[in-house]
Amino acid sequence: MYIKTLTVSELNNYIKKVIDSDFILGNAYIKGEISNFKLHSSGHIYFSLKDDGGKINCIMFRSDAENLKFMPENGMKVNVKGRVSVYIKDGAYQLYCKQIELEGMGELYIAFENLKEKLFKEGLFSDVHKKAIPKHPRRIGVITSRTGAAIRDIINVSTRRNKNVNLLICPVLVQGINAATELVAAVEKLNKIDDVDVIIMARGGGSIEELWAFNDEKLAYAVYSSNKPIISGVGHETDFTIVDFVSDKRAPTPSAAAEIAVQDLSQLNDKLGSMKKNFDNEIKYYFENRHNELSIKRKLIEKYSPEAFIANGYSNIDKLYNLLLIKTKNKIEIEKQKLTKCQSVLKANNPHNILNKGYSIIENNLGKCIDSIDELKEDSEVRIIMKDGRVETSIGKITRSTTDRLQ
C-alpha cells in the first residue's frame, strides 16, 4: 500500500480540516478557570482555560470581545462558547471564543485574596517594616531555579552592569508541592551568611498555579522576618504574588530585580568622574578665593604697616611743608600788598607832606599839635615845625580875627 509523504504544513492543514468538520468541536461549550489573561493592543484577548486535569489556549477576536459585559481576569471561572481549531503555523489547537459568561472566581484566586487580606491586616505589607536596599552590596544572594531563564537573565544583567559582581546562587524548586518549603529554607540559609547584603527571589512568568509557591503563607512570614532585604522578581510585570507585597522591593521581572540590586558600573564611574571634576573645581575655587583673600590682606598689611605709616608720614609732612610754604608766601604777599596800600594811604595823608607846600605845624611843649588859638596863651612855649627844620619860641600877643581864619 502506498502512503503519501506529507509536509508539516499539509499535515497541519489535514488535521485542521478534520477538526473543523467535527460538529461538537465546532460548537463547543467549555467551562474552566481563566489564567495567563492578556488584552492585546489590537483589542484581541488571549488567555488559557484550565481545570484540575488540563489546559487549553484561547483567543477572542476584537469583534467578539467588544460585546463582553465584563472584563475577564485571572482566576475567574467562566463558561466559554466557541469552536476548536488548529493554528497551522504552530500546529497547535486552540479555542476560538465567541462568548464568555462569568461563572465564579477560581479557588486559587479566592485563596490568594483571602491570604492577601489576612497578611495586610497583620501589617506584613506596611512600608514601615521594609528595609532599605543597599546601593553597593558586597554579595548578592539569588534564590531561583537552577535551570530557568530567570537565573540566566539575572547573571547576564548583573555582569553587564558590573563585571565584578559577586552572586551567590541558592538553587531551589520554584514550582510544585515542595517549592514553598525550599524557598523558605533558602531564605533562612542566606540570612545566616554574614557577607550577603541583599537577596533576590525570582522566577519567570507563568499561570497562577505555576507561581503558587510564592503565595505560600510560611514563605510570606519568612520574607517578612528576614534580617536581610529581599527583592522579589517573580513572573512578568502584570503578575503579582504574596511575596511581592511582603518583600522590601518588588521588581516587575527577574532582570529588573538584578538592575535594582546591581549598580551600573559605568554609571558609577561616570558619577565618580563627575564628582571628581566637581571636587577639583571646588578645590581650585577654594584656593583661588583664599589666594585672593591673602592678596587683599597682604595689601592691607602693607598699607597699614609701621614702615608704610612712617613713609606716608614723611610724604604727608612734605606735602604739609610745601603747603605751608605756599600759604606763608601767599600770606606774606597779601600782607605786603596791604602794607603797600597802607603806606600809600599814610603817605597821602601824612601831615608833614603839607610842609612842602609852605605850611608849618605848631606843637606845644608836650608835642601835641595845636590846631586852635584857644589852646595858646601869651608867653606859652611852642615849637614850630617847617619843612626844613624846627623853631622853638614863645607866644607874644594873641589876636583873634575870624577874617584871617582859613576856610
Do 64 and 122 lie in one domain? The reply is no
How many CB atoms are located within 10 Å of the residue 60 CB? 25
Do 154 and 217 lie in one domain? The reply is yes
- Could you give the strand order of the β-sheet that contains 249-250, starting from the edge strand earlier in sequence? 167-171, 140-144, 198-203, 230-234, 249-250
Do 76 and 158 lie in one domain? The reply is no
Judge whether 383 and 390 are in contact, CB under 8 Å: yes
- Residue carrying C-alpha cell 527583592: 231
Q: What is the pLDDT of residue 219?
A: 96
Do 254 and 122 lie in one domain? The reply is yes
Evaluate whether residue 389 is within a structural domain.
yes
Evaluate whether residue 407 is within a structural domain.
no
Residue that terminates a domain, selected from 263, 296, 315: 263
> What does DSSP assign to residue 369?
B
| Number of folded domains that form the chain | 3
* CATH of residue 210: 3.40.50.10550
Evaluate whether residue 278 is within a structural domain.
no
pTM (whole model) above 0.75: no
Do 122 and 217 lie in one domain? The reply is yes
Evaluate whether residue 298 is within a structural domain.
no
Do 81 and 122 lie in one domain? The reply is no
Evaluate whether residue 276 is within a structural domain.
no
Do 166 and 248 lie in one domain? The reply is yes
Give tens-digit pLDDT for 108-146: 777 888 899 999 999 999 999 999 999 889 899 999 999
Provide the domain limits for residue 49.
8-105
Nearest Cα to 245, choosing from 117, 76, 104, 55?
117
Nearest Cα to 169, choosing from 191, 192, 144?
144
Evaluate whether residue 378 is within a structural domain.
yes
Most confident by average pLDDT, 169-183, 298-312, 373-387: 169-183
Strand bridging mode 92-105 / 55-60: parallel
Evaluate whether residue 40 is within a structural domain.
yes
Give tens-digit pLDDT for 294-311: 999 888 887 777 776 777
Q: How many angstroms from the chain centroid is the CA of residue 204?
A: 37
Residue that terminates a domain, selected from 217, 234, 263: 263
